[in-house]
A and B are shown apart, each in its own frame.
Chain A
Amino acid sequence: MAAYLIKRLLQMIPTLLGVILLVFLLFNWVGGDPAYVLAGKFSNPQDIANIRRQLGVDQPLFIQFGIFLRQVLTFDYGLSWSTQEPVSHIFLTRLGPSIALLLPMLILETLIGVAIALAVAYVRDSWIDRSLTLTTTAAMSISLLIYIIVGQYFFAFVLGWFPVQGWANHGESWVRYAVLPILLGLAVSIAPAIRLYRTFVLEEMGQDYVRTARAKGLSEMRVMLVHVLRNASIPIITTVLGSLPGLLIGAFLLERFFSIPGIGREVIMAVERSDFPVIKAITVSVAMATMVFNLLADLAYQWVDPRVKLS
């Protein structure tokens, strides 16, 4: 086990380096010189040179790369170009709301998705199955934008059931603020989840061991909930764990509309304001988190599937 972990961690290094390199090339090379943008409309060469020096973009590229590398390793990306807040501070404080929004969504989406997938497979009725496919396809195709625009307008603005915007970090107010965004987010994300889990379940139902289970005289319920589900849970768990990285910025639209101070909204604002340090920091950090989550997913996969040996 330890050998496997070490091997995986070693493999992660080139990927991380690649990400750092990619981000660096994008922002320090292609993105080039933001000094003009930041100096404002009326600036003189002095200001520009000053800004350049402060940002460090007057140095040769490889020195800049070294600086960036150090920033990554120490998790200190300096100050935000627009708010002058320390970037790491921004990142850490915005993390909470994003997770508080997306974790419930992920849990609900998985539970409901698996339940519906099992129910449809159990019934084995082609009409129900086909209408479910059509419904989920249609639900997926309507852009999240429209759900949010209509939902926010109707349920919050017109009916007044929920607040139109805002956020609270915990307690009962959190529930008030979180319900509408979570429901709207679910409306979109649950459709592909149902489709995917349905595929997993159906694939398992076509396997030989299901025929054996039925030949043993087991009830259909037991066949599904014990035999099929246990096998289908392998790809399901892998999928769920693989979607964890998306937790960090997946809700950016929801955050923007509902003014929830999360990482996604932060990224959008940073892009609008060309706030490079913030974007760089978030990108690299999310990438690192993704790699860690993938490793966790692989470990969980090995734990769940007895056929897979740690190699």
Chain B
Amino acid sequence: MKTLLEISQLRVSFRQEEGAWREAVRGVSFTVPESGVVALVGESGSGKSVSSLAVMGLLPPRGSRIEAGSLIRFAGQDMLAMTPSQRRQLCGADISMVFQEPMSSLNPVFRAGDQVAEMLRLHEGMTRSQALERTRELFEEVGLPDPGQKLRSYPHMLSGGQQQRVMIAMAIACKPKLLIADEPTTALDVTIQRQILDLLADLRSRYQMALLFITHDLGVVSDIAEHIVVMRDGQVREQGPASEVLSAPKDAYTQALLACRPPLQGRPSRLPQVEDFLGAANGADFTGGKASEKQDVQTTHQRETVSLQEEPLSAGHQHGEPFVQAPLLQVLGLSKTFQIRQGLFGFRSFEALKKVTFSLKRGETLGVVGESGCGKTTLGLSLMRLQAPSGGKVLFDGIDLAALSETQWQAMRRRIQIVFQNPYASLNPRFTVAQILMEPMHIHGIGRNERERLDRAIGLMSQVGLPVDSLNRYPHEFSGGQRQRIAIARCLALEPELLILDESVSALDVSVQAQVLNLLKDLQSTLGMAYLFISHDLAVVRYLSDRILVMNGGEVVEEGAADALFDGGKHHRYTERLLASIPGQHLRIQGNPI
């Protein structure tokens, strides 16, 4: 097959604040054949998005530069040698791009139809009415319901999935030869993601386009890619036909990426981590700036051997054993209704939680899974009294939480804690790590003096696996995974019995996610905490949980043992849809590749 896009020795640098230049893409080479599907895979900081922006000429002109020796050739033409106006003729017509965040990628003040029509009027010379007519056809092709009305809609009136369909319609309007999709489904719910992926595959075959698909999710890749390029730290680690790369990867990093995702079957006591594959010999891939999780481990400890077998846990509860004690947490008919202001004096009710009922025993992990808007986050916040419930009862260790006074609640706070989703927002940027850890101690009077509190902080740091000298540093010096550990350590300072994890690993890269999940498991076995694990990712939830609640529209639609979820038995309709939407299933269910 002929090569459509050729990238050779691409190097891109960005200007740092102090004035130095840092290479983000360091000699990347790969090709995209005509009508082929190439997936560019990597975690954050790998340089995959930067590479695609370089092709389109969308890198910021002042803060970045493409180094000499780089080559980008499209249909035989040297793109880097083109003038801006020559490149503009290509962009949109022969090469087009779909971005990650459809809401902000569409112009908020223009109607959806006009924005797509603009493409046709510019590149194909149509008149406005012709362009709108063709746009309506495009909207039908991409599966937008009621396309005529959508023509006149503004972006904010559409859902995330619909916005992305508009973006796709815009991208295929001029029948491009190459479509670049940069994480197009990452911001969408998993069921919508499935639909968009199917749409892209369908359009690709219909228009015989080449597709360059950029993602961090190997599962997504396995469904659609013909070729895979794996990137890390600005370099290509491995590339080849999808079947080969996925079943028999040669590179250690690729192996690690595939292995450290929570499997859909089996329950290893510990997820493999990238370090386990790369080993100490990999050297410091240190590209400056913050330390990243992909660092190698210090040699002050023994290396763990990679093991995927079931291992008995060192202490605490054995998986599968029934919990014998009285429940720690009992939620009975919990409801939460929001009043949203409407009109001059009116209100509209929104029921976020509808009579939710469940219980949780000591040391147990209950997973709560559902898509956005299902009420799972509201549930977590209501339990912590960060939001006041509208109805129902919550009993903790037999105590009715609603009946507590403010001072009693203060004491109760030591027993229930919460770890939030966004690691970049949950730590006070102006506090040092030491201050963050000692703050709960100050408030609750733990420790008799500063010295004792500091000792405890040191202990906490090592419990979550962070070096002690980090105590003097500020949150912005840490990566996402490290910040979540600090957040976990902050909770541990109060020695809670129940820890609510509200999408706590959702914002993390896959390899980092594995580390934090391992940490959570270890902490549970050591400290015996119960977990309420809220997430939209079924595989992750299943890995960590004993039981699972499936929520939709504020209600619990299904409850059962975690293992039962993937056993192929009969489930609630919604659960079935969720299960079917998980990308790359065949990859995981066939047993882990390594």
Tell me, yes or no, whether A and B come into direct contact in the complex with CB atoms closer than 8 A. Answer: yes
Taking CB atoms and an 8 Å cut-off, the chain A residues in 2-36 that contact chain B are: 3-4, 6-7
Interface hit among B87-95, B439-447, B448-456: B87-95
B97 pairs with A209, CB closer than 8 A: no
Kindly supply a per-residue 1/0 record for chain B positions 163-181, scoring 1 wherever the CB is within 8 Å of any chain A CB and 0 otherwise: 0000100100000000000
Q: Does B43 contact A (CB under 8 A)?
A: no
Measured between beta carbons, the chain B residues less than 8 angstroms from A171 are none
Q: How far, in whole Å, are A214 and B56 apart by their CA atoms in the complex?
A: 9
Contacts of B84 in A (CB 8 A): 220
Q: Mark B57-84, 1 if CB is under 8 A from A, else 0.
A: 1100110000000000000000000001
Contact present for A208 and B154 (CB under 8 Å)? no
Chain B interface mostly:
mixed
A217-B88 CB under 8 A given contacts A212-B99, A307-B156:
yes
CB within 8 Å of B: which A202-238 residues: 207-209, 211-220, 227, 230-231, 234
**Contact yes or no, A218 B108, CB < 8 A:** no
Determine whether the beta carbon of A214 is less than 8 Å from that of B91: yes
Complex-state Cα separation, A7 to B342, whole angstroms: 13
The listed residue with most B CB atoms (<10 A of its CB), out of A7, A214, A217, is A217
Interface pair A211/B108, CB less than 8 Å apart:
no
Q: Which residue of A lies closest to B101 (CB)?
A: A208
- Counting chain B residues whose Cβ lies within 8 A of the other chain, the interface size class is 35 or more
Q: Is the CB of B109 within 8 A of A216?
A: no
B570 lies within 8 A of chain A by Cβ: no
Whether the Cβ atoms of A124 and B91 lie closer than 8 Å is: no
Minimum CB–CB distance for B3 against chain A, Å:
22
Determine the interface band of chain A, counting residues with CB < 8 A from chain B: 20 to 34
Q: Is the CB of A219 within 8 A of B105?
A: no
Determine if B107 and A124 form an interchain contact, defined as CB atoms under 8 angstroms apart: no
CB distance B122 to A209 under 8 Å?
A: no
Q: Find residues 54-73 in chain A having any chain B CB closer than 8 Å to their own CB.
A: none
User: Contact at B58–A214, with CB atoms within 8 Å?
Assistant: yes
* Known A7-B344, A126-B62, A311-B341: A218·B122 in contact at CB below 8 Å: yes
Q: Is B122 a contact of A207 with CB atoms below 8 Å?
A: no
Bound CA–CA A215/B180 (angstroms): 11
Closest to B111 in A: A306
Judge whether A217 and B93 touch: CB under 8 Å.
yes
Is the pair B62, A217 in contact by a Cβ cutoff of 8 Å? Answer: no
| Contact A211 to B88, CB < 8 A, known contacts A124-B62, A217-B93 | no
Which residues of chain A from 126 to 154 have a CB within 8 Å of any chain B CB?
126
Question: Which of A3, A217, A227 contacts B90 (CB under 8 A)?
Answer: A217
Which among A208, A219, A227, A307 has the greatest number of chain B C-beta atoms within 10 A? Answer: A208
Q: Quick check: A306 and B122 within 8 Å, CB to CB?
A: no
Whether a CB of chain A sits under 8 angstroms from the CB of B569 is: no
The distance in angstroms between the C-alpha atoms of A306 and B114, with both chains bound, is 14
Whether A215 touches B58, Cβ cut-off 8 Å, given contacts A208-B101, A311-B341, is: yes
In the complex, A7 Cα to B88 Cα: how many Å? 50
Q: Is the CB of B91 within 8 A of A231?
A: no
Q: Which residues of A contact B89 (CB under 8 A)?
A: 217
Cβ contacts A to B, 24 pairs, < 8 Å: A3-B344, A4-B344, A208-B99, A208-B101, A209-B108, A211-B58, A211-B99, A212-B97, A212-B99, A212-B107, A214-B58, A215-B56, A215-B91, A215-B96, A216-B170, A217-B88, A217-B122, A218-B118, A231-B107, A231-B109, A306-B109, A307-B109, A307-B154, A311-B342
A residues in contact (CB < 8 Å) with B = 3-4, 6-7, 124, 126, 207-209, 211-220, 227, 230-231, 234, 305-307, 311
